[in-house]
């Protein structure tokens, strides 16, 4: 069991100005949230500072990012450095876990980055808002349909990087999808149709696991839109249940 106290020096902040970037209590709270995650002790066992993780990390080749640095910050409990890394660097990781496969200590730098990202979301950090904003349409799609992508989202204008391959989606998708024997796939608006009961169950999971709280912290407007959609679906489900009961009663009569 890890301790809640940190080994960090008492003074935190810019050595020339004496002004801390954030109140020390806030820095501690961020670190303690990272440390309290159930995965933390499994993913950080010590660090040789050998750099094997960084040498094999694809993100380190392209960005100002080093898994070795992230692990060192956490291992030495450098609160200010941890907070600083959460403002940009942690979002560079591709979550490929090559680092975890190579680390001689059995650390998972990619897993630690994931914990830091979740804590950044919990604390409503601007970096999390900026990184996640482009995904709001996907989130809306996921909540409203149960799928994160649908055939009608694949438009040639949106995928210029596909080059000539984009011509392949310029096919009569509607007709082709209707030819699929499973009726739940005969649609372009979602990848497949998710039934109401499953949607409602997903909402319950997202509520109970704190996903929706995180969404509210990051994007209140999107949260409001999604809450309305969830309410409507729940009402639809209640109506459907009532219809079923009425049908059962009619059959009994
Ligand atoms: S999981 Fe992240 S830190 Fe680890 S090798 Fe992949 S990109 Fe690098
Ligand atoms: S996390 Fe592992 S691979 Fe990376 S520097 Fe530390 S000991 Fe080396």
Report if residue 10 sits inside a domain.
Answer: no
For residues 30 and 63, membership in a common domain is answered with yes
Residues sharing a CB contact under 8 Å with residue 80, sequence separation 6 or more, in sequence order = 12, 13, 20, 21, 27
Q: What is the pLDDT of residues 192-225, one digit of tens each?
A: 888 889 999 999 999 999 989 999 999 999 999 9
pLDDT in the model for residue 11: 47
CATH of the domain at 106: 1.10.1060.10
In a domain, 14, yes or no: no
| pLDDT at res. 9 | 45
Based on the fold, state whether residues 146 and 247 are members of the same structural domain: yes
CA 231 – ligand 1 centroid, Å: 39
Ligand 1 center to residue 54 CA distance, Å? 8
Same domain for 175 and 82? no
Q: What is the phi-psi region of residue 44: left when phi exceeds 0, alpha when psi lies from -120 to 50, beta otherwise?
A: beta
- What is the position in ligand 2's atom list of the atom closest to the CA of 109? 1
pLDDT tens digits, 145-189:
888 778 877 777 777 788 888 777 777 888 888 898 888 888 888
What's the pLDDT at 161? Answer: 81
- pLDDT at position 138: 83
Residue 15: pLDDT above 70? no
CA–centroid distance, 114 to ligand 1, in Å, is 10
Within-domain flag for 247:
yes
For the chain, percent helix, then strand, then coil, each to nearest 5? 65, 0, 35
Please say if the pLDDT value at position 79 is more than 70: yes
Alpha carbon nearest to ligand 2 atom 6, residue: 47
Work out whether the CA dihedral 216, 217, 219, 221 comes out positive or negative: positive
The token pair at 253 is: 């009569």
Is 239 found in the same domain as 193?
A: yes
Average pLDDT of the chain? Answer: 87
For 111, residues 6+ apart whose C-beta sits below 8 A from its C-beta are 39, 42, 43, 97, 100
Residue to probe by mutation, ligand 1, list 39, 99, 106, most atoms within 8 Å of CB: 99
Enter the pTM of the model.
0.77
Alpha carbon 234 to chain centroid distance?
A: 25
Q: Using only the alpha carbons of the chain, give its radius of gyration.
A: 24
Same domain, 113 and 182: no
Q: How far is the CA of 75 from the centre of ligand 2 (A)?
A: 11
Which residues surround ligand 2 with Cβ inside 6 Å? Answer: 47-53, 67-68, 71, 103-105, 107, 109
Cβ–Cβ < 8 Å for 115, 36:
no
Q: Which of 123, 154, 179 is the last residue of a domain?
A: 123
Q: What percent of the chain has pLDDT over 70?
A: 91
Q: Which residue's CA is minimally distant from atom 6 of ligand 1?
A: 96
DSSP state of 219: -
Clarify whether residues 143 and 162 are in a common domain.
yes
- Of 79, 98, 123, the residue at which a domain comes to its end is 123
Task: Give me the number of domains the chain comprises.
Answer: 2
Lowest mean pLDDT among 32-36, 119-123, 192-196: 192-196
Q: pLDDT band at 3, cuts 50/70/90?
A: very low
- Ligand 1 cavity residues, CB under 6 Å: 57-59, 67, 93-99, 109-110, 113
CA of 58 to the centre of ligand 1 (A): 7
Residue 17 placed within a domain = no
Residue 18 domain flag: no
Tokens describing residue 81: 């450095």
The answer on 146 and 247 residing in a single domain is yes
163 and 66 co-located in one domain: no
Residue 3 lies inside a defined structural domain of this protein: no
Is 151 part of a structural domain of the chain?
Answer: yes
Q: Pick the residue whose CA is nearest to atom 5 on ligand 1.
A: 57
Q: Measured between alpha carbons, how far is residue 95 from residues 53, 83, 91, 99, 247 in Å?
A: 13, 20, 10, 9, 50
Cβ count near 42 (within 10 Å): 12
pLDDT band at 8 (very low <50, low <70, confident <90, very high): very low
Separation between Cα atoms, residue 136 and residue 130, nearest integer Å: 11
Query: Which of 62, 91, 123 is where one domain is finished?
Result: 123
| Whether residues 110 and 139 fall in one domain | no
| Residue 20 predicted with pLDDT over 70 | no
Q: Is 117 found in the same domain as 94?
A: yes
Percent of the chain with pLDDT over 90: 60
Q: What is the band of 236 on the pLDDT scale with cuts at 50, 70, 90?
A: very high
- Examine residue 11 and state whether it is found in any structural domain, yes or no: no
Range of the domain at 213: 133-252
Q: Are residues 88 and 143 in the same domain?
A: no
Q: How far apart are CA 3 and CA 32, in angstroms?
A: 9
* C-alpha of residue 33 to centroid of ligand 2, in Å: 22
Residues 38 and 114 in one domain: yes
Let me know: does 116 contact 39? Beta carbons within 8 Å.
Answer: no
The predicted structure's pLDDT at residue 135:
85
């Amino acid at each position: 069991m890890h301790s809640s106290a940190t080994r960090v020096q008492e003074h935190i902040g810019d050595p020339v100005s004496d002004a801390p970037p954030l109140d020390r209590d806030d820095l501690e709270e961020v670190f303690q949230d990272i440390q309290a995650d159930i995965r933390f002790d499994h993913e950080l066992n010590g660090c040789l500072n050998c750099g094997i993780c960084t040498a094999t990390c694809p993100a380190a080749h392209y960005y100002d990012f080093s898994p070795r640095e992230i692990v060192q910050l956490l291992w030495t409990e450098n609160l200010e450095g941890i907070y600083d890394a959460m403002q940009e660097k942690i979002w560079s990781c591709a979550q490929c876990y090559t680092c975890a496969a190579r680390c001689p200590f059995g650390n998972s730098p990619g897993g630690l980055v994931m914990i830091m990202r979740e804590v950044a979301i919990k604390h409503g950090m601007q970096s999390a808002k900026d990184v996640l904003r482009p995904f709001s349409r996907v989130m809306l799609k996921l909540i409203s349909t149960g799928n994160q992508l649908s055939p009608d989202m694949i438009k040639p204008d949106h995928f210029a990087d596909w080059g000539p391959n984009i011509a392949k989606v310029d096919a009569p998708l509607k007709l082709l999808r209707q030819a699929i024997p499973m009726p739940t796939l005969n649609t372009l608006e979602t990848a497949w149709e998710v039934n109401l009961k499953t949607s409602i169950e997903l909402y319950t999971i997202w509520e109970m696991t704190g996903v929706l709280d995180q969404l509210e912290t990051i994007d209140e407007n999107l949260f409001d839109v999604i809450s309305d959609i969830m309410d409507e679906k729940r009402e639809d489900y209640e109506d459907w249940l009532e219809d079923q009961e009425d049908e059962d009663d009619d059959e009994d009569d």
